Amino acid sequence: MRKSNSIEKILKILITTVMVSATAIVVSGVVSYLYFARDLPSIENLKNYKPPVITTIFSDEGEIIGEFYAEKRRVIPLDRMPKHLIQAFIAGEDSRFFQHKGLDYWAILRALIKNLFSGEIVQGGSTITQQVVKSILLSPEKSFSRKIREAILAFKIEKYLTKEEILYLYLNQIFLGHGSYGVAVAAETYFGKEVEELNLAESALLAGLPQAPSKYSPLHHPEQAKKRQIYILNRMLEEGIISREEYFKALQMPLNYKSRQTNYIEKAPYFVEYVKKYVEERYGKEAFLKNGLKIYTTLDLRFQEEARKALEAGLKEIEKRQRYSDYNKTLPLEGALICFDIETGYVKAMVGGRDYRRSQFNRAIQARRQTGSAFKPIIYASALDRGYTPSSIIVDSPIVFEDGDKIWKPKNFDGKFRGPTTLRNALTHSINVVTVKIAQDIGISYIRDYAKNLGISSPLHEDLSMALGSSSLSLFELTRAYAVFANGGRRFKPILIKKILDRDGNVMEENPPLSSREGSPEEQVISPQTAYLMTHLLQDVVQRGTGWRAKSLGRPVAGKTGTTDHFQDAWFIGYTPDLITGVWVGFDEEKSLGENETGARAACPIWVQFMSAIMKDREIKEFEVPEGIEFVIVDSNTGQISKSKSPLLECFKEGTIPFKNTYFQPASSPDFFKFDLTLSVSGR
């Protein structure tokens, strides 16, 4: 009896102990779960997976000219991935993926045993679901707390997503070395292929990388990569995924490592950098680097290549001609070229320097240089809107400006004076003294406002030296100002981007050609008649004046050269009815190009080579004459209506044909005597 009571007591104690322990375990488990499950990241966003992806910039032809990213990744659907690629990753990382519910206890045990026997980590125990949790939802820290949170989230994800959705996340998210995220970019990085083109051997190699991408990199450690590939193929064979025949065939397949060529920086680096800066400023740096934007630009790669070649050839010719010393190897001769399509407003080519790898400074946009006589068309356009005509006579004679002990005597490039000279001849032959007298007559403030109206945004000198191009402007803004003459008096903002799409294909920004936009994006800033008169005058600069080299195009061309004092800067800006192109040549420091390296000699040949290449197959067009223009034959020397031995078909605004020429004499107001003796230009 006593024995029976003792057994009963022991049983009661045991049952109580078990119940208390079970309760404690349950309570502890619940408390632990509540503790570790607190503040877990939401898994709902996994349905709308949007990781950082590559932003791509395209040329007008749809060719990639730039890629930017925080993580180099392209997200692709599962059905674009070869079946054997998916199977290789499952065999290597999680063979019971379709059986477990987030954690695979047998895999953990198996990995522990294999790693102990091999003496190194050859197999991991984490499931693919856990790896998704670790890479997307949690930090990569190694701690007991994170592992528990990872397990909880893995179970949750398995209930929330299908196995295929989990694989989609995993294969697009995983880091596979050399900056590659996801299998699509890894296929490009290691084999130069689209992911669909991968064979079994290549897929097995990629599937071996997640364990240690740097250790098994085929580019740095091909032998280790091969061992890992063999391991993956063995796992696929063991799991019955591939046959022995497929196994041996894959082992014998050569692995040709060939990264896809991404030398985008060679194509149009200055243009791409300018586009990048614009998008970052408008939409933010994070959006640019992470949101996978598709940026379609206006750049024509054929134009761009011809521009690069023309600039390099022109600079080499100057170097050869001037026999530059070794000093110029450390300070190379530089140049820039920019080309707009007049009808569309599109920027077709932009070369901001000789070598982007050496200098990222964009001389087409950022550089501000004295323009010399390239500024004169703005003076002459101002004069046409203040009562002058192409036949107006201005006396080319010495003039002296005194301001206290300062004296300024403007000189012509050739040191000669021609006496009474028509406005046309003064611009054609780039006569400095006549230009200064015109500027003195119409007023510096008027010219400044006129230039601003044409699109000049840089500050201008408030003295008569402005007339000879003493102010520093960018090639971009001066070419844009000339475009007003080419575009019938309408100012437009040159367009570099046709459209921008977000990662889902939604249009963020769109800039159709000027000619097809609803409502005019162009502003009529001068009359079509003034614009045409300037074009007609600038055609004469090409036919009879300093821009004579551009005649070789064999089609209507209007343009103007520019040269600054001591031949430090050389310019030529010219246009046809279709295109306008500006060229600048000089050193980044203030240094002479060499004796007689004028705009006509140094810059114009670059313009000619470029325009000849891109215009050779184009239809020859004439400049369109607007209404309100009249033509009459005049004497080319005097501008008077006559049947002289040197007749010229002159054009005038309707109602301004002079029956008797007027001599324009500059006013003698002291306001116009202000000048800066430190600023001077050569006038060519």
Q: Profile the chain (684 residues) by mean pLDDT over runs of 10 residues.
A: 67 68 52 50 83 96 95 96 97 91 73 59 70 82 69 86 95 95 96 95 96 93 95 96 95 87 80 97 96 98 98 96 74 95 97 94 97 98 97 94 84 92 96 96 97 96 94 98 97 96 96 74 91 98 96 97 96 98 95 94 98 95 96 88 82 87 50 38 57
Sign, CA dihedral 244-249-251-252, equals positive
**Closest C-alpha among 385, 388, 391 to residue 420:** 391
Active-site residue set: 93, 373
Picking from 252, 271, 286, the residue at the C-terminal end of a domain is: 252
Same domain, 230 and 311: no
Q: Name the helix (H) or strand (E) containing 445.
A: helix 444-454
| Alpha helices, DSSP H, located in 68-212 | 83-93, 105-118, 128-132, 144-160, 163-173, 182-191, 200-207
Whether residue 91 contacts residue 239, with contact meaning beta carbons closer than 8 Å, is answered with: yes
- The whole-number pLDDT of residue 253 equals 94
Assigned token pair, 172: 């697009």
Same domain, 331 and 214: no
- Residue 530 CA to residue 487 CA, distance in Å, equals 11
- The whole-number pLDDT of residue 672 equals 35
- Residue 345 CA to residue 494 CA, distance in Å, equals 5
Whether residue 415 contacts residue 433, with contact meaning beta carbons closer than 8 Å, is answered with: no
Distance of CA 74 to the CA centre of its chain: 21
Report yes or no on 290 lying in a domain: no
The residues, any chain, with a CB within 8 Å of residue 259's CB and separated by 6 or more, are 188, 189, 190, 192, 219
Whether residue 652 contacts residue 672, with contact meaning beta carbons closer than 8 Å, is answered with: no
Assigned token pair, 261: 């060529």
Same domain, 464 and 607: yes
Same domain, 202 and 337: no
Same domain, 96 and 223: yes
- Residue 481 CA to residue 492 CA, distance in Å, equals 9
Place of tokens 């925080």: 70
Q: What's the angle, vertex CA 670, arms to CA 668 and CA 674, rounded to 5?
A: 120
Same domain, 569 and 428: yes
Same domain, 312 and 245: no
Report yes or no on 33 lying in a domain: no
Same domain, 440 and 351: yes
Same domain, 423 and 524: yes
Where b means 16+ CB within 10 Å and e means fewer, 327-347 reads eeeeebbbbbbbbbbbebbbb
Residue 650's domain comprises 304-673
pTM more than 0.75: yes
Same domain, 356 and 495: yes
Q: Name the helix (H) or strand (E) containing 584.
A: strand 579-586
The residues, any chain, with a CB within 8 Å of residue 285's CB and separated by 6 or more, are none
Sign, CA dihedral 147-153-159-163, equals negative
Question: 363 burial class (0-12, 13-18, 19+ CB within 10 angstroms)?
Answer: buried
- The whole-number pLDDT of residue 249 equals 96
Report yes or no on 478 lying in a domain: yes
What CATH number should be reported for the domain holding residue 543? 3.40.710.10
Report yes or no on 643 lying in a domain: yes
Picking from 213, 236, 252, the residue at the C-terminal end of a domain is: 252
Whether residue 369 contacts residue 586, with contact meaning beta carbons closer than 8 Å, is answered with: yes
Report yes or no on 155 lying in a domain: yes
- Tell me the three state secondary structure of residue 540: helix
Total tally of structural domains belonging to the chain: 2
Q: Name the helix (H) or strand (E) containing 180.
A: strand 180-181
**Closest C-alpha among 638, 640, 662, 190 to residue 422:** 638
- Residue 468 CA to residue 474 CA, distance in Å, equals 16
- The whole-number pLDDT of residue 636 equals 85
Length of the chain counted residue by residue: 684
The residues, any chain, with a CB within 8 Å of residue 213's CB and separated by 6 or more, are 175, 176, 177, 178
| Alpha helices, DSSP H, located in 284-414 | 285-290, 301-322, 327-330, 376-384
Report yes or no on 201 lying in a domain: yes
Report yes or no on 294 lying in a domain: no
- Torsion angle, CA of 246/250/252/256, rounded to 10 degrees? 150
Distance of CA 675 to the CA centre of its chain: 40
CB neighbours of residue 98 within 10 Å = 9
Amino acid at 181: Y
Report yes or no on 375 lying in a domain: yes
Same domain, 239 and 161: yes
Place of tokens 């991404």: 262
- Residue 119 CA to residue 116 CA, distance in Å, equals 5
What CATH number should be reported for the domain holding residue 89? 1.10.3810.10
Same domain, 495 and 637: yes
Whether residue 452 contacts residue 353, with contact meaning beta carbons closer than 8 Å, is answered with: no
Whether residue 549 contacts residue 605, with contact meaning beta carbons closer than 8 Å, is answered with: yes
